[in-house]
């Protein structure tokens, strides 16, 4: 039996990722060399084989076979401070508007998530005008585990619900999320003229999800396919433009939804009677399309100014609705996320023939607001500050290193759609280091 799904998480080469490093479930860190400039110019440069992820047309600029392996280590700190004025809306037959007041709060200083993420890229010229590429990456992901009893606290004993006493709202929304994707992307870059390159690719993507809260558990996996294309154009020797597009990937996930005793009780009280246990079902999930615009301007023979804009269509992920012939209703996890844009500015400077320095800054929008903040993967507007360097100790090998600090704005949440009001503020920040080895043969 397949397991039922919700969303996804980035994972490649058996490595897992965390949250808060990019908008939604997106995992930005695929290339260490690109991270050094905050991903500015990533879709127009042909520094190494990893640029193919941002734009397959960059493969046409690689005239020698190359294998590039990137590794990232992240440290993600998450805390939650519950407000003191939450409420628990009392279901019928109580009069409309009846609310139980908050009675304290649970823990909010959670254990840091320390994901380790890997990716691999291959580029092989097949003619003077054409280069084949292959990437194995982790494009989406989240992993978070909360302490039991977190969020706003409520004493439900006065409701007289059998077996239900004191509860905390956070447990109703998330206790653990472990979501993964594996993406394999063969592609082809073609040099059309001296100034124009084009590229195209296809993706096989695997989704594996396990989303838990105190009420339900969703488990799922599925396979799906997508495509990507791009072009680079240099109108003169000093200005270079790139555009890359990745399609939406749609899943029809089959699997199970499990109701706990508490989950069955609250579902029944809210008018959807169900017994504790597991039920087979399916859910449709659409992962976002993306558009990447890149620019590289040569200020001198050694220095380039880099710019980038990435748009992601997160509005395609509006909800996760589980349909089951064994249930009289469709359990639903609402997202209603917004599309996002990341703006990047970077600089690349070649100190000499063997050493390159990089720096960048990026501003990235959030998919979420106060009313639709997701405890599965809390997200907010963020700013990236990055540094990087590349070293070529021998002619056929380059080592890239990079560092990013991600400043995440405090993220308010105010939701009551699962019966208990979760009201408070997330504080998030992240640090990422990376190393990448590129070998030419």
Classify residue 227: in a domain, yes or no.
yes
Classify residue 6: in a domain, yes or no.
no
| Below-50 pLDDT ranges, the chain | 1-20
CATH number of the CATH domain containing 213: 2.40.160.60
What are the E-state strand segments in 54-107? 66-82, 87-89, 99-101
Classify residue 238: in a domain, yes or no.
yes
Taking CA atoms, 332 is separated from 191, 200, 208, 368, in Å, by 48, 36, 18, 18
Measured CA to CA, the distance from residue 209 to residue 137 in angstroms comes to 17
Classify residue 1: in a domain, yes or no.
no
- Looking at residue 59, its pLDDT comes to 98
Domain limits at 202?
Answer: 11-440
- Looking at residue 430, its pLDDT comes to 92
Q: How many domains does the chain have?
A: 1
Residues 45-59 have pLDDT tens digits of: 999 999 999 999 999
- Looking at residue 21, its pLDDT comes to 57
Classify residue 251: in a domain, yes or no.
yes
Within 8 A by CB and 6+ apart from 256, the residues are 1, 3, 4, 218, 219, 220, 278, 279, 280, 281
Which of helix, strand or coil describes residue 176?
strand
Classify residue 429: in a domain, yes or no.
yes
The candidate with the shortest Cα–Cα distance to 84, out of 421, 426, 428, is 421
Q: Are 155 and 165 in contact (CB under 8 A)?
A: yes
Residue holding tokens 């009675």? Answer: 103
């Amino acid at each position: 039996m397949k397991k039922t799904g919700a969303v996804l998480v980035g994972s490649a080469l058996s490595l897992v990722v965390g949250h808060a490093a990019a908008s939604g479930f997106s995992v930005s860190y695929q290339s260490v060399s690109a991270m050094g400039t905050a991903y500015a110019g990533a879709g127009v440069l042909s520094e190494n084989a990893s640029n193919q992820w941002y734009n397959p047309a960059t493969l046409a600029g690689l005239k020698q076979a190359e294998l590039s392996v990137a590794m990232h280590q992240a440290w993600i700190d998450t805390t939650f401070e519950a407000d003191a004025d939450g409420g628990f809306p009392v279901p019928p037959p109580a009069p409309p508007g009846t609310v139980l007041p908050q009675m304290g709060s649970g823990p909010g200083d959670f254990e840091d998530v320390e994901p380790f993420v890997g990716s691999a890229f291959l580029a092989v010229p097949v003619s003077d005008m054409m280069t084949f590429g292959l990437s194995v990456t982790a494009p989406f992901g989240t992993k978070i585990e909360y302490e039991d009893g977190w969020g706003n606290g409520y004493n439900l004993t006065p409701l007289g619900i059998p077996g239900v006493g004191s509860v905390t709202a956070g447990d109703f929304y998330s206790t653990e999320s472990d979501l993964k994707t594996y993406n394999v992307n063969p592609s082809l870059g073609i040099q059309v003229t001296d100034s124009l390159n084009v590229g195209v690719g296809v993706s096989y993507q695997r989704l594996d999800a396990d989303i838990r809260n105190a009420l339900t558990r969703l488990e799922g996996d599925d396979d799906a396919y997508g495509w990507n294309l791009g072009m680079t154009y240099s109108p003169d020797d000093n200005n270079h433009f790139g555009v890359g597009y990745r399609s939406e990937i749609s899943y029809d996930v089959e699997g199970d939804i499990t109701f706990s005793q508490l989950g069955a009780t609250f579902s029944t009280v809210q008018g959807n009677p169900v017994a504790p246990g597991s039920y087979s079902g399916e859910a449709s999930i659409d992962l976002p399309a993306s558009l990447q615009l890149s620019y590289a301007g040569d200020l001198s023979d050694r220095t380039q100014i880099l710019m980038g804009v990435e748009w992601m269509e997160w509005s395609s992920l509006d909800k996760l609705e589980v349909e089951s012939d064994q249930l009289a209703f469709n359990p639903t996890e609402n997202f209603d996320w917004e599309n996002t844009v990341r703006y990047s500015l970077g600089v690349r400077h070649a100190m000499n023939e063997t050493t390159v320095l990089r720096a960048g800054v990026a501003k990235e929008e959030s998919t979420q607001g106060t009313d639709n903040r997701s405890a599965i993967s809390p997200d907010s507007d963020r700013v990236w500050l990055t540094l990087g360097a590349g070293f070529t100790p021998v002619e056929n090998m380059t080592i890239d290193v990079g560092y990013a600090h991600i400043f995440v704005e405090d993220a308010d949440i105010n939701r009551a759609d699962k019966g208990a009001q979760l009201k408070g503020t997330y504080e998030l920040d992240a640090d990422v280091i990376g190393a990448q080895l590129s070998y030419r043969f």
